[in-house]
């Protein structure tokens, strides 16, 4: 019978995300992952699979969180154009600027891995398209609200806010 997990999965995934975000995929070793999580190799593999699977899980969580934050910002803004402006003008991440210094995990990962890892390339394409859809909905709302011209193409404006994947 398998033993119950003795760790908080959320805490582990946050630590792993920070490690990959700070160092990148290639520069993160199994020993780094064991150090930041406090877990042994067997526990990491049993719970999350290999380094690549763990990385993909962290990347997918990051993208879902980013999409949720963008959608929430647009949905809760009194005017959609204000949320779009904020998205374009505000650095990604926390108010202390830690994330702004290390960039966007998705962009960093795409740059590092998409040309050699088809799975990461596919994840990046899916992520960029998903964010583009969310931003397009915001542009459409801004058009309805009269803040953007009805003559502009919403998808083109969304892609200007969020570069489409080149992966």
- CATH top-level class for 9-161? mainly alpha
Per-residue model confidence (pLDDT) at position 28: 97
Q: When comparing pLDDT for 29 and 160, which is higher?
A: 29
53-57, 88-92, 128-132, 149-153, range with the lowest pLDDT = 88-92
C-alpha span between 6 and 97 (Å, rounded): 33
Q: Residue 2: phi, psi to the nearest 5? A: -75, 145
Q: When comparing pLDDT for 82 and 92, which is higher?
A: 82
Give the Å distances, CA to CA, from 66 to 35, 49, 57: 27, 24, 14
For a pLDDT cut of 90, what percent of the chain falls above it?
77
Across the range 105-121, mean pLDDT stands at 94
Please determine, for residue 165, whether its predicted confidence score (pLDDT) is greater than 70.
no
Per-residue model confidence (pLDDT) at position 17: 96
C-alpha span between 45 and 53 (Å, rounded): 9
C-alpha span between 14 and 151 (Å, rounded): 43
Give the Å distances, CA to CA, from 166 to 24, 27, 65, 105, 142: 19, 23, 22, 16, 27
Contact 10, 47 (CB under 8 A): no
């Amino acid at each position: 019978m398998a033993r119950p997990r003795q760790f908080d999965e959320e805490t582990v995934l946050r630590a792993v995300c920070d490690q990959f975000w700070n160092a990148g995929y290639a520069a993160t070793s199994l020993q780094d992952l064991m150090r930041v999580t406090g877990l042994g190799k067997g526990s990491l593999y049993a719970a999350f699979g290999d380094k690549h699977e763990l990385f993909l899980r962290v990347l997918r969580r990051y993208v879902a969180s980013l999409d949720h934050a963008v959608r929430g910002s647009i949905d809760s803004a009194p005017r959609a154009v204000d949320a779009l402006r904020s998205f374009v003008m505000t650095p990604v991440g926390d108010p202390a600027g830690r994330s702004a210094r290390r960039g966007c995990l998705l962009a960093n990962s795409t740059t590092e891995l998409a040309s050699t890892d088809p799975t990461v390339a596919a994840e990046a394409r899916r992520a960029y398209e998903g964010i583009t859809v969310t931003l397009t909905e915001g542009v459409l709302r801004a058009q309805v609200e009269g803040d953007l011209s009805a003559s502009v193409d919403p998808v083109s404006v969304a892609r200007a806010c969020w570069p489409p994947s080149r992966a």
